[in-house]
Amino acid sequence: MAVINETGSFRRLSLSDEETLTVKDHGPIAGNNKLPVHTVKKAAKELNETEENKQREIAELRSLIDERAKLVSDEEKEEADRVVTTFRAKPDDVMVKFLRARKYDAERAYDLMRGYVGYRLKYPEVVSSITQKEVRHSMEIGQPGVLPSRDAKGRVVMFFRFETWDPLLRPFTEIMQSFVYILEKLLESCETQINGVCIIEDFSGYTFAQVAAVSIAEYKQMIDMLQGSFPCRFKGIHCIRQPWYFAKAFSFIKPYLRAKLFERVHVYGEELEVFFNEFSRDFLPSDFGGTAPPYDGVAAANALFGPNENDSDEDTSL
């Protein structure tokens, strides 16, 4: 089987060698480049993506968008109408984005669309305007950041570093604005839609002041982003170097986590050997105990947005 890496060259793999994929076997974190053959096969195996399924479920999803708006209760009408105005005229690739996130089940994809517009109705302060220049600065300081290449499984890795966060200068809602903007941009890539996203939370320097700075309502902004509000396959949240009082902060949010998301939260403390089994040392920057060079936020922002002279007020939402 031929595998395309980001430079466009090929490496030969047998089907039994798929576990030996490296970061070089995947495309860049941004843009829609030709999908590697192994990623096409993964979409078929894990997401039920075939041309026949795609065409059938796109048609079914488009039908649901109109039909459900006529059947909902008055309580649900605003959300259902927003689905119509947001998605009815969108091209097929937007339908596919939501179908991939729900394994080509049009009913579940429609529910995800409702979750997407519902998030915007519930948290207008998070999805309010933020400029690409502001988000670029967030990436440069890792609040949040994005590693500039995919991991060996083809996933994009976002992260947040508490050590550099001053909640008096940047309230948590501003952090969430950047998270949402970046996530929308990442999800423009078909490869990311298929392989998913991981988040590393580095709690080095985590303080009581930071614990106190985030309200339950603000924690919900993050939790709801991760649960049924975005067409994203969140593959794991990995917490490292957390202090003992992290447990107190986690106890605030645990009741709101659905079982599936709870199972994907991994807490390591200072014992990172299992963490390095998930993300190889040669992939991780030295900031996270890896052997790769330190995180370069400028390079990461350029990988996602292009050079900074291309900064615009682009709205990445649908």
Per-domain residue ranges of the chain: 2-47, 51-122, 132-310
> CATH number of the domain at 51-122, please?
1.10.8.20
At 2, which helix (H) or strand (E)?
strand 2-4
The pLDDT score that the predictor gives to residue 317 is 66
- For the chain, which ranges sit under pLDDT 50? 1-16
Note if the pTM is more than 0.75: yes
Q: Strand, helix or coil at 267? A: strand
- Extended strands (E) in 17-105: none
Pair of tokens at residue 122: 């519930």
Closest CA to 200 of 151, 167, 247: 151
The pLDDT score that the predictor gives to residue 68 is 87
The pLDDT score that the predictor gives to residue 10 is 32
The pLDDT score that the predictor gives to residue 314 is 62
The pLDDT score that the predictor gives to residue 12 is 45
Query: What gap in Å lies between CA 189 and CA 178, rounded to an integer?
Result: 18
Pair of tokens at residue 101: 């996130």
Record: fold of 132-310: Phosphatidylinositol Transfer Protein Sec14p (3.40.525)
